[in-house]
Amino acid sequence: MVRAGWFSPGALLLVMLGGAVGVAARAVVTVPLGVLPHPLVVPAATLAINLAGSLLLGVVVGAFDDQRPRLRAFLGTGVLGGFTTYSAFAVQSVTVGAAAPLVGLALMAVSLLGGVLCAGVGLHLGRRLAGRSVDAAEPVEAAE
């Protein structure tokens, strides 16, 4: 069940603005690489972007927790949500996998496992930066 009062037009605007920043940052990284002839350049850039974004999202969540919800929405959901891209990862994994199945599987494994690992490291770093305990995870509220 969704909690009452979770939505705010101001938060939505922050997410939209952050998303535009994140998409522009991703384009700055990937568009110039698209002219390079090797077929793995763009998938490698997407992998690096998604791993870096996972790390940074972990830092944002760990550092801000529920203390700065608007900043967390702007940076986490907006900027990092726009910067990272699941859809490009999925298409590139299938495309690479069709030409080189082992490379495609490796790309998928590194993206998924590496993303989770990077998010965990980022969460740890964010909590340390904020002076929070890094040993115990906060309990997650059960959905009703």
Rounded CA separation 23/78 (Å): 9
Q: Give the DSSP letter of residue 139.
A: P
84 labelled ligand-binding: yes
Is the separation of the CB atoms in 55 and 119 below 8 Å? yes
Rounded CA separation 54/110 (Å): 13
DSSP state letters, 96-110: HHHH-HHHHHHHHHH
Structure tokens at 112: 């998924």
81 labelled ligand-binding: yes
Helices (H), 8-144: 9-33, 41-64, 69-72, 81-83, 86-99, 101-129
Q: Which residues contribute to the annotated binding site?
A: 81, 84
Q: Which residues contribute to the annotated binding site for Na(+)?
A: 81, 84
